Structure 1
Amino acid sequence: MTDIKVFIVDDSAVVRQVLTGLVGELPGIRVIGAAPDPIFALKRMEVEWPDVIILDIEMPRMDGITFLKKLMQEHPTPVIICSTLTAKGAEVTMQAMSAGAVDIITKPTVNLKGFLQDSKTLLADAIKAASHARFRTLSTAAKQTLDVKPKLNADSVIAPSGLVPMSETTDRVVAIGTSTGGTQALEYILTRLPRSVPGIVIVQHMPEAFTAAFAQRLNSLSQINVKEAEQNDRVIPGLALIAPGGKHMLLRRSGAQYRVEIKDGPLVSRHRPSVDVLFRSTAQAAGKNALGIIMTGMGDDGARGLKELHDTGALTVAQDEASCVVYGMPKEAVKLGATDGEMPLSAIPELIIRAPNRARFLKG
């Protein structure tokens, strides 16, 4: 296999130097150039076009959003946004993700080298994922992870349960897990839902400080309410709760009510929040009263948790390969026998709308 070719566009010489050094150390990845702005980058890339571009947003002569839109129209290429950990950076980054960016690499205003060094595995994962991007229905990407650190499972956050699955009720909940490609996929789904849908809990792999801006954007576009989840938020009809970056989210049942628990904990399947953690807790709290959906994303986070949910009698669905930006997480769930079937992204809103009726779309 040939190396993944990466080009870095950032107006900070320090960022270019640090990223070039770190990326250059990753196996199977090669930096073919770096530029301080998009105009200079375009000239350099004409000589050798990269497989993945790491792009800053605020730059002279041409900003990153304008450059990103130009790329998507003229030469679609996987782009990873390199964004600062600020409220403003998060807001602009959400615009970039909506415009077709693949993933986010965060950069602090201080101790850049140390921060990126600590995030080396995630950086490698993001680049490998982006290199598999497919610009079909939506624009984003992912696939394999780099096995560097021990890979913990959901046991490290929530213990498995031997309880008999709870009886079926009319109180439904929808649990969704997704990663790379998920920002646009979730926007597609949530903006097509009426206020009457069951409560929804979502894990979207995303860095800390960006999930609040993501939730606010979706809330402004949707009929339903969307917010970043907080400790003990109730899961009610017409509301979608998005797990905060850097925290695990678990579904809990208290009497007749569903609530969420937000907690710290180790990375599970190399992620925090983890889809496996959400799905396992949903299996324990809701059982067959839940609808589980696993969507576009890299790796296998969510497959085992969805299998536990499926085994309670819940309806579980995977987004199909044709509509996924990256058919990684859904593929692993299907291989594990964790789903009742697959369906295109375009069919998922209607599935959620009919969730209270337990309609078995996949069986005719």
Structure 2
Amino acid sequence: MTIRVLIVDDSATMRAILTARLSREPDIEVVAVAGNAAEGRELIKLHDPDVVTLDIEMPGMNGLDFLEKIMTLRPTPVIIVSGATQQGNELTARALALGAVDCYSKCDRSGGLPMDDHGALAALVRQASQMRKSGRFARPASLARQAADKVPFNVRAIAIGSSTGGVEALQILLRDFPADCPPTLIVQHVNARFAPAIARSLDEICAAHVVLAEPDLPLRAGHVYFAPGGERHMRVGGTDSPYIRLRPGDPVSGHLPSVDVLFASMAETFGNAGVGILLTGMGSDGANGLLAMAQAGAFTIAQDEATCTVFGMPRAAIALGAASVVAPIGSIARHVLRKAA
């Protein structure tokens, strides 16, 4: 089946480049292009595309407002196309939190526009076409606000893995973490360039302090450590005085950093004093690691299908018998707090 794509970008040159990159794929058709939000809105109504690529750094429009309207009024998988500016990174992080399924960088590491992206955009479009957006997730009253100022935790650390749709899910989950939560580590599959901005956006809504992980950083209660991405896996080490290990390596389960690597180190370091949470994402990264945590006696949770953007990673873990609990995203924090208290 042909995947129908709408491109929204204020640059005629960029519209032409994106169209060329997608049109050479036999299973993808660019049905229309738009130069601004108003055109994009009308073309979405006219063509009902399977996927929209959206540049949110367009003059004369608020890309985030436009994205929120798409997600609310006509839920459609959206890929954010971002330039190499700091503002673009911040907007992309917020867009992912609003429900955009992934992000695509116009530029290479040097900040230039590459002649060929080696099929990267086409691969994102194929993944996005499999998304099922069912509107906004319901957000229950915040558990963090209901909790006492100090919670007596027995859990030594929490590890979270997520991929496609994960930034939005993390916003919902971390909103309910109290300020004195156990040390929490996150591996989210995302372009390394956007990781700092995503960490900052999560910090704005979380009572605990969300920071970008650094090598050999000691784990502290009330802190959430977001993997910086790039070419390093994130592990935990040091049973008596646990710390973060960021080390180069080959992809594991197709990813670098890998959720499987983080979860396996949690099983080895904390045993039954850890919690593993596997959220929405394509593929199976994290399933084997969550099983290792479960076999070590840890409490393990997988997000349920109804609230996942993509049920791939949780489905794989559930099939292995790795999940102690399968729960909607809005109640996962409740399970964690009950177990940890």
Q: TM-score, normalised by structure 1?
A: 0.82
- Residue 141 (structure 2) aligns with: none
- Residue 20 (structure 1) aligns with: 19
**In 1: Cα distance, 2:269 partner to 2:35 partner:** 51
Deviations 1:101-144 (A, max 9, x none): 22111122754234x514x24x34422332223224439xxxxx
Q: CA deviation at 1:170?
A: 4.9
- Residue 237 (structure 2) aligns with: 253
Deviations 1:304-325 (A, max 9, x none): 1212222222221111112212
- Say which SS state the counterpart of residue 117 (structure 1) adopts: coil
**In 2: Cα distance, 1:171 partner to 1:76 partner:** 38
Q: Is the 8 A contact 2:82 2:88 kept in 1?
A: yes
Summarize the alignment of residues 172-321 of structure 1 with structure 2, pairs less than 5 Å apart.
172-321=156-305
- The code of the aligned residue for 1:229 comes to A
- Residue 57 (structure 1) aligns with: 56
Deviations 1:319-344 (A, max 9, x none): 11122122111001111222223112
Deviations 1:40-92 (A, max 9, x none): 33344444221110000122443422321232333221111101233221111
Q: Is the 8 A contact 2:279 2:303 kept in 1?
A: yes
- Say which SS state the counterpart of residue 72 (structure 2) adopts: helix
- Say which SS state the counterpart of residue 234 (structure 2) adopts: strand
Which segment drifts farther, 317-326 or 12-21?
12-21
**In 2: Cα distance, 1:198 partner to 1:345 partner:** 19
Q: Is the 8 A contact 2:21 2:122 kept in 1?
A: no
- Residue 87 (structure 2) aligns with: 88
Q: CA deviation at 1:353?
A: 2.0
**In 2: Cα distance, 1:28 partner to 1:341 partner:** 38
The alignment status of 1:8 with 2:7, answered yes or no, reads yes
Deviations 1:240-262 (A, max 9, x none): 10101214343333251211111
- Residue 117 (structure 1) aligns with: 117
Q: CA deviation at 1:11?
A: 1.6
- Residue 159 (structure 1) aligns with: none
Q: Is the 8 A contact 2:75 2:135 kept in 1?
A: no
Q: Is the 8 A contact 1:249 1:260 kept in 2?
A: no
Q: CA deviation at 1:27?
A: 4.6
**In 2: Cα distance, 1:231 partner to 1:352 partner:** 27
- The code of the aligned residue for 1:317 comes to I
Task: Pick closer, same or farther for the CA change 1:272–1:36 going to 2, 3 Å.
Answer: same
- The code of the aligned residue for 2:266 comes to T
Task: Pick closer, same or farther for the CA change 1:286–1:247 going to 2, 3 Å.
Answer: farther
**In 2: Cα distance, 1:117 partner to 1:245 partner:** 19
Q: CA deviation at 1:291?
A: 0.8
- The code of the aligned residue for 2:183 comes to G
- The code of the aligned residue for 1:117 comes to D
The alignment status of 1:41 with 2:40, answered yes or no, reads yes
- The code of the aligned residue for 2:114 comes to K
Task: Pick closer, same or farther for the CA change 1:258–1:214 going to 2, 3 Å.
Answer: same
- The code of the aligned residue for 1:126 comes to L
Task: Pick closer, same or farther for the CA change 1:26–1:259 going to 2, 3 Å.
Answer: farther
Q: Is the 8 A contact 1:247 1:265 kept in 2?
A: yes
CA RMSD of aligned residues (A): 2.2
Q: TM-score, normalised by structure 2?
A: 0.87
Paired residue for 1:128, among 122, 126, 129? 126
Q: Is the 8 A contact 1:231 1:262 kept in 2?
A: yes
